[in-house]
Amino acid sequence: MFSPIKNTKVYEQVIAQIKDMIDKGILKKGDKLPSERNLVQQLMVSRASIREALRALEVIGLIECRQGEGNYIKTSFQDNLFEPLSIMFMLEGSDPEAIWELRKIMEVEAAGLASKRITCEQLSQLKEITEKFMNCGDENINAEIDKQFHYKISECSGNVLIFNILKTVSTLVDHFIVDARKLILAHKENKEILFNQHNEIYLSMEKHSSAGARKAMREHLDFANKYMKKEN
């Protein structure tokens, strides 16, 4: 199954071999990896190197180590996968403008895709979220609903990459723009404006209008961004 390893950066080669077996379809989602001892024998490297490689794969979110059971290829990867991306964003991200620009591009297009791909079930979920907006007086809950709304739209884009990147980007935007809604809602008249903007996005989903969805999302984000700039 595996073949012995020769070179210097041992753990890298352990990973390369595991990756290769995934590429060839020998290892699949949910599969159990050979035991550490087994890997030591097959690859002829130290147990420490095997462990380093396995830990790295665990950090990446590719495998999970179940206590007493062994190591398994995960069946779902979204959670940890974009961890490295978010760290990079932190290191590169002295520039909130760049993050906001990326978010806008991705979210406007996600809305466009979602309008075409949204299912009946998703549409009624989105309707429910939208209706909660006006009916709730608690701003903390409203802020949460706001997040859910945007999260749902990117999910409905049907593109798992776009969904994951937007998720990461949103986390970062939240990081820079703490309580964005509070800044906007310092002006009372904005509550209705915000509701109308979200409702407009929802209605374009109902009509499956890609152009409408992109326009409504762009207007909403431009509005929010303008406010944040003004207040900061």
- Residues in touch with its own copies (CB under 8 A): 11-12, 15, 19, 22-23, 28-29, 48, 51-53, 55-62, 73, 77, 81, 83-85, 87-93, 95, 98-99, 101-102, 105-106, 109, 113, 159-162, 164-165, 169, 175
d(Cα 74, Cα 141) in Å, to the nearest integer?
Answer: 33
**At closest approach, how far in Å is the CB of 155 from its own copies?**
13
Instruction: For the CB of residue 214, give the shortest distance to its own copies in the complex, in Å.
Output: 11
Least Å from the CB of residue 118 to its own copies: 16
**Counting every residue, how long is the chain?**
232
Cβ closest to its own copies, residue 82 vs residue 133: 82
Residue labelled with tokens 């062994």: 70
Q: Nearer to its own copies by C-beta: 99 or 224?
A: 99
Tell me the closest approach of the beta carbon of residue 109 to its own copies, in angstroms.
5
Q: Least CB distance from residue 223 to its own copies, whole Å?
A: 20
Least distance from its own copies to the Cβ atom of residue 119, Å: 17
Nearer to its own copies, 131 or 174 (CB): 174
Cβ distance to its own copies smaller for residue 162 or 184: 162
Give 138 or 178: the residue with its C-beta nearer to its own copies. Answer: 178
Q: Which CB, 29 or 182, lies closer to its own copies?
A: 29
In sequence order, what DSSP letters do the residues of the chain get, joined into one string?
------SSSHHHHHHHHHHHHHHTTSS-TTPBPPPHHHHHHHHT--HHHHHHHHHHHHHHTSEEEETTTEEEE-S--HHHHTHHHHHHHHHH-S-HHHHHHHHHHHHHHHHHHHHHH--HHHHHHHHHHHHHHHH---HHHHHHHHHHHHHHHHHHT--HHHHHHHHHHHHHHHHHSTTHHHHHHTSTTHHHHHHHHHHHHHHHHHTT-HHHHHHHHHHHHHHHHHHHHHH-
